[in-house]
A and B are shown apart, each in its own frame.
Chain A
Amino acid sequence: MLTMTGLCAVVAVSVLFFILGYLVYYGGTSINWNFFTKLPAPVGETGGGMANAIVGSAKLLALATLFGVPIGFLGAIYLAEFSGSKVAFVVRYAADLLNGAPSIVIGIFAFSIAVHPFKQFSTLAGGFALGIMMVPITLRSTEQFLLAVPRTLREGAMALGASKWKTIATVIVPAAYRGILTAILLAFARVAGETAPLLFTALGNRYWSRGWTEPTASLPVMIYNYGLSPYEDWHRQAWAAGLVLLALILITNIVARAILSRGISVPR
């Protein structure tokens, strides 16, 4: 039995290393300077790159962060500092359900309210879809970190005549900021690789996107399209895109963990 459990543990770890190794091998041999600087080559030609998808992904993630993080953050403040336990229970439960919702469902939802009414796939709709996915992750983890701030700190501020809002802004949030930053980075990493919501919203684009209200390319959608294509050279580029995306997510994760491990800013 011990051998079995040990073996399963090894399998769990080796999946990650297998994927990493595969990506580094195929992606690493395919990646080059053109990948970062050139637009996709016309069908039938080899070469080209994914500059538009890299920029597109950056725009989508920036939009998602701008939309999802404030809602998650402010909602968490309400839950942690103001709501009664009944309201908090309902909101937490809803957030957990939303967090578990399949991303394709989020995609359809974003399509029906941000694409269909305007008859237009757009960068904005893509950012909206990813932002929705960031809300529950940011909300739940920010709330946990706010609740972890000792009650004595709140009392210390209030005993000096600070109002509730001042206490939150000047003591509680600063005390929890490492945790909150980590939560935001993890939410960011979580949605960075999402494909399904973008298929319905940002669509994809073989050229530079002409603006926020136009479709845009993104790395996950490029991987999807290129990976399914019959062209050898596109497969090569899909691997490279996978490597870039995974590197981005890994780096975000590592930075997040580094921030957190420098210590919670308040000793317990």
Chain B
Amino acid sequence: MNAFVRQAVSVNITPPVTTAATRETAAPAEMRMTISKVNFWYGAKQTLFDINLGIATSKVTALIGPSGCGKSTLLRTLDRMHETVRHSRLEGVILLDGKNILDQDVTQLRRRVGMVFQRPNPFPKSIFENVAYGLRINGSKLPMADAVEKSLRHAALWDEVKDHLHKSAYELSGGQQQRLCIARALAVEPEVLLLDEPCSALDPISTAKIEELLVQLKDLCTIVTVTHNMQQAARISDFTAFLLNGQVIEFSPTPHLFTKPTDPRTEAYITGRFG
């Protein structure tokens, strides 16, 4: 594992140009979302501590860290999915295009910030209806068939399913189901797409397809992905945040974080000494 990480890092990452310059780009002017001073509690237990993070527009931002470090919790605050859990409490400000998402209508917010989950969770409906779902509940007037085709093409699934759009989504393989879930999220044309360990339940080939897809999707929307797989973060992301015990330990451009981590804990984690 250890050797594999180093190999992946050395093979896939172009070295940073200059450290100072690269670090500057960690905070470019173009920020889709800004997370400031976010603290989070489940009941009496605080799981996020004073999080500050910028999510750059049309880039892939990866959240990495050991299990239980709060990376999924942080991701779920970005579309307020944390509110579905009883006794959760959030303090702080999360801006989307300059406006605090905590003051907005949650339905509208979730339309603008889509989410893909750890396990593929297609609805017990046909492939077509799965993709059309978000449009239907939002009362979209767009021609449904065109919108569905477009989303399936974006998710690189169209060619595999175009002849049986009305079959049950459960007839697809796990990897196809996950791409269907991505298509479903893309159908409402979100500005930000959140992914919570989207490949953890998939085989290597399906994983590779989804990684490739995410890199292509950057042009369409801003992407934030949680992963426990460091090679994956290294391969697909532009920026990486390393979380530990509910705190952001380090946040830099991905090549920088993986080759010249400034915090010893980051280095210990990416070289596989823990986690």
Contact = CB atoms under 8 A, between A and B. Distances in A.
Contact of B134 (A154, A155, A160): A160
B84 A175 contact: no
Interface string B89-123: 00000000000000000111111001101010111
A158 B184 contact: no
Given A171-B123, A265-B124, A156 B117 contact: yes
B60 interface: no
Contact of A174 (B81, B111, B121, B124): B124
A152 B119 contact: yes
A197 B123 CA distance: 42
B110 A160 contact: yes
B181 interface: yes
B42 interface: no
B133 interface: yes
What is the interface of chain B mostly: helix, strand, loop, or mixed?
helix
Interface residues of A, number: 21
Interface in A88-129: none
A106 B258 CA distance: 72
B137 A155 contact: no
A178 to B, nearest CB: 10
Interface string B65-107: 0000000000000010100100000000000000000000011
A266 interface: yes
A153 B123 CA distance: 6
A90 B107 CA distance: 33
Interface stretch (A23-31, A40-48, A162-170, A207-215): A162-170
Contact of A160 (B84, B124, B125, B137): B137
Given A174-B124, A174-B125, A267-B170, A161 B119 contact: no
Interface of A: 150, 152-163, 166, 170-171, 174-175, 265-267
Given A160-B110, A160-B114, A161-B110, A153 B121 contact: yes
Given A156-B123, A160-B110, A161-B138, 9 more contacts: A152-B121, A157-B133, A158-B81, A159-B115, A160-B111, A161-B110, A161-B137, A161-B188, A174-B124
Q: From B107, B110, B123, B170, name the one whose CB has the most chain A CB atoms within 10 angstroms.
A: B123
